[in-house]
């Protein structure tokens, strides 16, 4: 266990180092792709904790993404509150919303939970679109650039900020899932009744996973707003929830690595495969279909079986061996 962890940490540090050095050598477009993958990676990690590890269903994650994007932006536009205050406030606000929602939603199971969370996501989207005085309405709103005295806030600053947030989230999820909490969540996923019999407080742990999910989605939303520079409610429609869901299914439910890989694949593939916006929906549908039909364990669950590697991938397989949702 410990040797594995040492190796994993070294790999993560290596990735961090490569990430930190990247802007020196590569084109702006490539840097932009890394930023996008990091943002969606954070979102996917969050959803994965709730869906992959805890085995619940969340089809409205874009709601928290939306809150994370709009709260700091509107605070800046309306009250000129600095982003460094706005970001934590956004997280607190989405935690509050998630905590309130956890009472009706987490009692539900299966399809009822799916439609409940979905309706939350749609409700947030509709609020963003139909209340112009609150959010700028359907026309969208320009996100003012961040200013920090003494620091040049440019592309590179955002690159490092977003990369740092991503690595921090990944490490957090990594340690969380190795801990007592992670084991409890997996136990709930595998068999709720058995977990209850073992003395695991199911409600508390589900709520915890739901809160972590909301917080990470909100962080991703805040970073997305900064990176995009413009917010339009249609960005946060149902489709965003579904594409994050597709990401974690493609990568492999219940693995942190899988979530990030899935985020990378689903973000990059449209850039590689198609240059026309109209084809993206079809492409994503086909990818989801192929993954479900031909490798239901996702990439992290399937590839190691094919190439028979040891170490980290073996551990990943152990995590996703039973693809319980």
Partner 1 sequence: MDSYLSDLVPIIIVGLSLGSLFGLVGLAYTVIINATQLVNFGQGDFAMVGVAVCWALIAKLGLPLWVAFPLAVVAGGAMGFITNAIIVTPLLKKDVHPFYPILGTMSVGTIAAGAVGIFTGFYWMPIEHFLGNEPLKVGGIPMDTQGLLIIGTTVAIVTAYWYLLHKTRLGLALRATGFNREVSLLAGIQVGKMASLSFVISGIIAAIAGVLCAPFSAFTATDGMILGINGFIALIVGGWGNPYAALLGGVLVGMIRALIVGYISSAHAELATFLVLMVVLTIKPQGLFAGFMMPKTMNSAR
Residues engaged in binding partner 1 (CB under 8 A): 57, 103-105, 107-108, 110-112, 114-116, 118-120, 122-123, 126-127, 130, 238-239, 242, 245, 249, 278-286, 288-289, 292-293, 296, 323-325
Compute the least distance from the CB of residue 260 to partner 1, in Å.
20
Tokens of 228: 């995009």
Burial of 272 from C-beta contacts in 10 A (0-12 / 13-18 / 19+) = exposed
Tokens of 34: 């890394």
Q: Answer yes or no: are the C-beta atoms of 205 and 187 closer than 8 Å.
A: no
Residue nearer to partner 1 on the CB measure, 12 or 324: 324
Compute the least distance from the CB of residue 148 to partner 1, in Å.
37
Compute the least distance from the CB of residue 276 to partner 1, in Å.
9
Residue nearer to partner 1 on the CB measure, 218 or 243: 243
Residue nearer to partner 1 on the CB measure, 49 or 122: 122
Q: What are all long-range contacts of 154-161, with beta carbons under 8 Å and residues at least 24 apart?
A: 155/28, 155/31, 156/23, 158/35, 158/226, 158/227, 159/23, 159/31, 159/34, 159/35, 160/20, 161/223, 161/226
Compute the least distance from the CB of residue 21 to partner 1, in Å.
38
Residue nearer to partner 1 on the CB measure, 163 or 195: 195
The candidate with the shortest Cα–Cα distance to 61, out of 93, 94, 88, is 94
Compute the least distance from the CB of residue 116 to partner 1, in Å.
5
Residue nearer to partner 1 on the CB measure, 34 or 122: 122
């Amino acid at each position: 266990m410990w040797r594995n962890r040492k190796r994993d940490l070294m790999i993560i540090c290596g990735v961090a180092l490569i990430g930190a050095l990247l802007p020196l050598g590569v084109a702006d477009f490539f840097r932009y792709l890394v930023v996008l993958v990091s943002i969606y990676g954070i979102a996917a990690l969050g959803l994965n904790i709730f869906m992959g590890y805890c085995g619940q269903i969340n089809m409205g994650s874009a709601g928290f993404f939306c809150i994370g994007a709009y709260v700091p932006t509107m605070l800046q536009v309306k009250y000129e509150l600095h982003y460094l205050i706005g970001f934590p406030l956004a997280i607190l606000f989405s935690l509050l919303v998630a905590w309130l929602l956890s009472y009706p939603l987490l009692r539900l199971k299966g399809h009822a939970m799916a439609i409940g969370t979905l309706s939350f996501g749609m409700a947030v989207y509709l609020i963003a679109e139909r209340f112009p005085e609150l959010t700028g309405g359907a026309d969208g709103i320009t996100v003012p650039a961040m200013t920090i005295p003494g620091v040049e806030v440019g592309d590179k600053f955002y690159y490092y900020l977003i990369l740092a947030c991503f690595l921090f989230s990944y490490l957090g999820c990594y340690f969380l899932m190795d801990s007592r909490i992670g084991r409890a969540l997996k136990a709930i996923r595998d068999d709720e009744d058995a977990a209850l019999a073992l003395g695991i407080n199911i409600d508390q742990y589900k709520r915890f996973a739901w809160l972590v999910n909301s917080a990470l989605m909100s962080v991703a939303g805040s970073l997305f707003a900064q990176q995009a520079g413009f917010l339009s409610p249609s960005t946060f429609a149902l489709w965003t929830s579904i594409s994050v869901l597709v990401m974690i299914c493609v990568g492999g439910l219940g693995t942190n690595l899988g979530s990030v890989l899935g985020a990378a694949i689903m973000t990059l593939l449209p850039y590689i495969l198609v240059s026309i916006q109209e084809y993206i929906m079809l492409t994503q549908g086909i990818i989801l279909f192929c993954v479900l039909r031909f490798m239901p364990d996702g990439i992290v669950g399937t590839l190691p079986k094919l190439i028979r590697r040891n170490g980290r991938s073996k551990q990943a397989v152990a995590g996703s061996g039973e693809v319980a949702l």
